[in-house]
Amino acid sequence: MLRRGLPKAVFWLVLALPGGLMLADFAGGGVLAMDLLHPSGEMAVRLMLLALLVGPLIDIFGPGRFLRAWLAARRNLGVAAFCYSALHLLFYAFDMRMLSAMLDEMVLPPIWTGWLSFLALLAAASISNDRAMRRLGRRWKQLQRLVYPAFLLGIVHWLLLGWFWGPALVHLLPLILVWTARFLALRKRRARHEGLPT
């Protein structure tokens, strides 16, 4: 967890800045809600990615100072990802205008994948606090892993929306790379431990 006080407030200010600018632009009539779907959705994906990368990186390189600081911010990054997905949903609601239109669209794969991703993020964000951590004990960590399906569903949602392979896969690639590197590093370590050739 980030230290309370000024560093945490500054960190949150930086996280909130793009969202604040989007809202200000929208409120000022400078952009339409539909134009803000891309940046808000992309921010949610990027923040989730940042939250997911640090664990495997620590397994590979060990807990250096930089990675420890990053790890301390992980919970905040997850909550911020949820806030951006909520903002995304808000812009979607403004764009659609009617609840019935939103409900009609919900059966479409590019849309229900977005909803599922949002719900998984909501569940993870709702227990991202010290009280829930104490209450849930070991289950807390398992439930926090909902960020993985949330991220993958977000990527599938992005792909299905228009088959934009490039941008969606560019966001998946770093995770695939660190997972592969972690797998290889752990295998090497295990083999060394058991005295097997690496």
Binding site for ligand HEM (CB under 6 A): 37-38, 41-42, 44-45, 85, 88-89, 92, 111, 114-115, 117-118, 121, 154, 157-158, 161, 164, 167
Per the structure block, which two tokens stand in for 37?
A: 């779907």
Give ∠ CA 158-162-165 in degrees, rounded to 5.
65
Nearer to ligand HEM, 18 or 167 (CB): 167
Query: Whole-number minimum distance, CB 143 to ligand HEM, in Å?
Result: 17
CB of 62 to ligand HEM, least distance (A): 30
Identity of the residue, 108 or 184, whose beta carbon is nearer to ligand HEM in the bound complex: 108
Nearest Cα to Cα of residue 73 among 167, 10, 135, 23: 10
Nearer to ligand HEM, 85 or 178 (CB): 85
At closest approach, how far in Å is the CB of 112 from ligand HEM? Answer: 8
Task: Give 18: exposed, middle or buried? Use CB within 10 Å, 0-12, 13-18, 19+.
Answer: middle
Give the Cα separation of 10 and 16 in Å (integer). Answer: 10
The least distance separating ligand HEM from the CB of residue 154, rounded to whole angstroms, comes to 3
By beta-carbon proximity to ligand HEM, the closer residue of 169 and 184 is: 169
Name the residue nearer to ligand HEM (CB basis): 115 or 185.
115
Specify burial of residue 165 (Cβ count, 10 A radius: 0-12, 13-18, 19+).
Answer: exposed
Rounded to a whole number of angstroms, the minimum distance from the CB of residue 43 to ligand HEM is 8
- Between the alpha carbon of residue 9 and those of residues 145, 168, 197, the distances in Å are 26, 31, 50
Residue found under tokens 């949002």: 118
